[in-house]
Amino acid sequence: GAVVSQHPSWVICKSGTSVKIECRSLDFQATTMFWYRQFPKQSLMLMATSNEGSKATYEQGVEKDKFLINHASLTLSTLTVTSAHPEDSSFYICSARTSGRGYNEQFFGPGTRLTVL
Amino acid sequence: DAKTTQPTSMDCAEGRAANLPCNHSTISGNEYVYWYRQIHSQGPQYIIHGLKNNETNEMASLIITEDRKSSTLILPHATLRDTAVYYCIVRVLNNFNKFYFGSGTKLNVKP
């Protein structure tokens, strides 16, 4: 199956700093990528949808100025958590879909655990 | 936004079939049902999906009722490694085919 990677797998940062998380589709071109957040013992919550070359669309209640998403190429999307605070500590997961192979599936990355001190 | 309801948890004996139910009574006529699972602290893994007909692959079988208001995921011979949270998702049509996850079912496979 298609492989999606995330980097870093975990990160610890100080309150007030910004953190960038990368999501890459390794063996396919991702026309659309999705970003999710998951708090402990909870389900995945969709944060935003990004399409290559265009602005991301954010779900209701997600601050677009705090969670900056860039989908500059068909294989890379980045999520930047700006001015991170302890309440932003969470498990961030990306997924990717393509208009080609596996059209109806989303392929998920392994997740990035963010801890803000 | 989740359009599915699932039991919070289920137990299954190793080697037995695990039958995980999902209710999606508000599903639209051409919306697909997807199943993913998430092992602790990992990204979700695709299992299977279907529209109307029953589906089977190397991992599982998906049984969809005739009225499409519910479905059952069947793991024919559960192993300890199948212990995970299983999510039943109705794929939103258009709108980039977003997934809205419900709360899922924690399947505990016991020896």
> pLDDT tens digits for A68-103?
999 888 899 999 999 999 999 999 999 998 765 555
Looking at the predicted structure, is the pLDDT value of residue B67 above 80?
Answer: yes
- Considering only CB atoms, A111 lies closest to which of B1, B42, B100, namely B42
- Considering only CB atoms, B104 lies closest to which of A4, A36, A43, namely A43
Chain B residues with CB inside 8 Å of A32's CB? Answer: 96-97
CB atoms within 10 A of CB A37: 20
Write the pLDDT tens digit of every residue in A15-73. 999 999 999 999 888 889 999 999 999 999 999 999 888 889 999 999 999 999 998 88
Best interface-test mutation with B: which of A6, A44, A71, A95 has the largest number of B CBs within 10 A? A44
Looking at the predicted structure, is the pLDDT value of residue B3 above 90?
Answer: no
Spatial distance between the Cα atoms of B111 and B108, rounded to a whole number of angstroms? 10
To the nearest whole Å, the CA of A92 is away from the closest chain B CA by: 9
Report in angstroms the alpha-carbon separations of B90 from A38, A50, A91: 19, 20, 23
What pLDDT does residue B15 have?
Answer: 97
Report in angstroms the alpha-carbon separations of B87 from A97, B19, B45: 18, 13, 10
B25: left (phi over 0), alpha (psi -120 to 50) or beta: alpha
What percent of chain B has a predicted confidence (pLDDT) above 70?
A: 95
Alpha helices in chain B (DSSP H): none
Residues in chain B: 111
Give the pLDDT mean for B72-99: 89
What pLDDT does residue A102 have?
Answer: 52
Best interface-test mutation with A: which of B4, B9, B33, B38 has the largest number of A CBs within 10 A? B38
Residue of B30, B19, B94, B41 lying closest to A44 (CA atoms): B41
